[in-house]
Amino acid sequence: MSVTSPSPARVPDVMEGLAVWPASARPAAEGDVTVAGVSLAEAADLFGTPLYVLDEGEVRNRARAYRTAFPDADVIYAAKAFLCRAVIRWIKEEGLGLDVCSAGELGLAITTGFPAERIVMHGNAKSPEDLETAVRLGVGRIVIDSLSEIDHLTGIVPRRDPQQVMVRVVPGIAAGGHTKIQTGTDDQKFGLSLADGSARRAIDDILHRPQLSLVGLHCHLGSQITSVEPYVTAVQRMVGLMAQVRDQHGLELLQLNIGGGHGIAYRPGEQSLDIGILAGRVRSALEDGCAEANLRVPRLTLEPGRALLGPAGVAVYRVLSVKRTSGRTFVAVDGGMSDNPRPALYGVRYVPRLIGRHSTAAPALVTVVGRHCEAGDILADAVPLPGDVRPGDLLAVPAAGAYHLSMASGYNLVGRPPVVAVRDGAARMLVRRESLDDMSRRDVGL
């Protein structure tokens, strides 16, 4: 499907900045914005709202930037950020691997033609189905997250064909944009602690299992991290553990996975993680640490998710009502926490932009809310929009490509929005809108 783009003429606007939008975004006539040459207002008219627009070129360029920054590493896309068949194909074509957390994500990848050997299976509580599917389909590596998982995996892997595994180590580092997404500390559900010795016990146990081949260590510090320092510290602590394994067992582990969690900017002026600086500092820390410990430098793996997909996405909503009460203005839209639970979960803040209509009204601070029966269904609080915003207007929310639809729900039986890819002035449907019929088919109670 093609959407004709309007004139690219630059039009003054109360929210003119596009700093956190896809690089292809351009202001256009009548207050519109184009992404990859496609008018968002016309896309909303064609596909309906709410609508998620994903810039294919932005995703591919970000994947290439990672491969350039880390030429000697395995770059693995964290599928939990957002997964569909088209994204799987883009990731495959750009030479990245894939990190999955369930038999569902794994099955979608395999049936789309993604090579099993380039897949890593994650998860703090993998089900028997998850592990059995991973072994049956031949995933490249499984990350061990608990001692009990070692027993279960041993029971399903044939001795003649050992499964490559890594141990997820908790390095005792607090990093991340919110306490709910910090996973490198000892007081959360992920991994095996370095401090209490459980990581060492897991390593010892695996090395006595002929069905399992321990190839390296893994750690993941959290999400929305914008500083390089936590990764440097993590590398130093992981190299220390590798040296202990070598000294105790005579085994040099040749892979080190430092996870992802690379932060992006959701609002103009916010910081994002510089992957060029990250690559240089991590490589130096790894080489220096291995030289000091007399270890061979392991092959590095990293798992960006949000940093690849987040900045490539734009959500488009239609205003349903404007309510001025108790000194506040509430602008209600036709989506909300069912397609983006992140503000309710983590207090994330966005900057919506009026599109499809040029306004000369002075900006006013408003609260953009969703349509759901929760007081916490707030998409953006105290953000400037034209003072004449009204029902029928379109609002676009940038940095919407990750952890929106992947965490979407069926709350209030509001169907999940479609996903449209844009590239070279054309738009095509990737994931269709979820209909009432789709949801009704699961209800078999009559």
Residue 373 falls in the annotated catalytic set: yes
| Residue at a domain's end among 310, 341, 360 | 310
The predicted pLDDT at position 322 comes to 97
| Position 9 pLDDT exceeds 50 | no
| Position 177 pLDDT exceeds 60 | no
C-beta of residue 22 within 8 angstroms of C-beta of residue 36 = yes
| Position 4 pLDDT exceeds 70 | no
Distance, in Å, from the CA atom of 109 to the CA atom of 165, rounded to the nearest integer, reads: 20
| Residue at a domain's end among 264, 286, 310 | 310
Q: Which residues of 158-190 are buried (b: 16+ CB within 10 A; e: fewer)?
A: eeeeebbbbbbbbbbbebbbeeebbbbbeeeeb
As a whole number, the mean pLDDT across the chain is: 91
Domain check: are 415 and 364 in the same one? yes
- Range in 76-90, 271-285, 334-348 the model is least confident about: 334-348
Determine, yes or no, domain membership for 143. yes
Percent residues over pLDDT 70 in the chain: 93
Domain check: are 149 and 113 in the same one? yes
Determine, yes or no, domain membership for 11. no
Determine, yes or no, domain membership for 9. no
pLDDT digits (tens, 9 = 90+) for 302-328: 999 999 999 999 999 999 999 998 889
Domain check: are 177 and 233 in the same one? yes
The predicted pLDDT at position 181 comes to 44
φ, ψ of residue 256 in degrees (nearest 5): -135, 115
Question: In whole angstroms, how large is the CA radius of gyration of the chain?
Answer: 23
- The per-residue DSSP string of 317-377 comes to EEEEEEEEETTEEEEEES--TTT--HHHHH------EEESS---SPEEEEEEE-SSS-TT-
| pLDDT band at residue 2 under the 50/70/90 scheme | very low
pLDDT digits (tens, 9 = 90+) for 23-35: 999 999 999 999 9
The predicted pLDDT at position 188 comes to 59
Strand partners, 300: 256
Q: What is the mean pLDDT of residues 382-404?
A: 97
Domain check: are 295 and 348 in the same one? no
pLDDT digits (tens, 9 = 90+) for 134-156: 999 999 999 999 999 999 999 99
The CA–CA distances, whole Å, from 43 to 140, 194, 228, 354 equal: 40, 50, 38, 15
User: 248, 247, 234: which is closest to 286 by C-alpha?
Assistant: 234
| Position 61 pLDDT exceeds 90 | yes
The predicted pLDDT at position 126 comes to 94
Determine, yes or no, domain membership for 13. no
Which of the following is catalytic: 84, 101, 290, 373?
Answer: 373
The predicted pLDDT at position 189 comes to 65
| Residue at a domain's end among 310, 326, 359 | 310
Domain check: are 329 and 271 in the same one? no
| Position 15 pLDDT exceeds 50 | no
pLDDT digits (tens, 9 = 90+) for 248-282: 999 999 999 999 999 999 999 999 999 999 999 99
The CA–CA distances, whole Å, from 383 to 123, 317, 338, 356 equal: 37, 16, 21, 19
Domain check: are 109 and 253 in the same one? yes
| pLDDT band at residue 179 under the 50/70/90 scheme | low
Domain check: are 235 and 381 in the same one? no
| Position 362 pLDDT exceeds 50 | yes
The predicted pLDDT at position 12 comes to 37
**In the numeric block, which tokens belong to residue 6?**
């309007």
> Which CATH number goes with the domain that contains 275?
3.20.20.10
The predicted pLDDT at position 422 comes to 98
The predicted pLDDT at position 178 comes to 45
Domain check: are 227 and 127 in the same one? yes
| Position 406 pLDDT exceeds 50 | yes
| Position 291 pLDDT exceeds 70 | yes
Number of domains in the chain: 2
Domain check: are 295 and 150 in the same one? yes
Domain check: are 281 and 350 in the same one? no
The whole domain housing 115 covers 56-310
Is the pTM higher than 0.85? The answer reads: yes
Q: What is the mean pLDDT of residues 59-78?
A: 98
pLDDT digits (tens, 9 = 90+) for 429-439: 999 999 999 99
User: 311, 435, 329: which is closest to 382 by C-alpha?
Assistant: 329
Q: What is the mean pLDDT of residues 182-199?
A: 71
Determine, yes or no, domain membership for 71. yes
The predicted pLDDT at position 223 comes to 84
Domain check: are 163 and 295 in the same one? yes
- Cβ partners under 8 Å of residue 94, min gap 6: 60, 63, 64, 67
The predicted pLDDT at position 14 comes to 37
Q: What is the mean pLDDT of residues 216-238?
A: 92
Domain check: are 46 and 103 in the same one? no
> Which CATH number goes with the domain that contains 337?
2.40.37.10
Distance, in Å, from the CA atom of 261 to the CA atom of 275, rounded to the nearest integer, reads: 12
Determine, yes or no, domain membership for 19. no
Determine, yes or no, domain membership for 337. yes
Determine, yes or no, domain membership for 354. yes
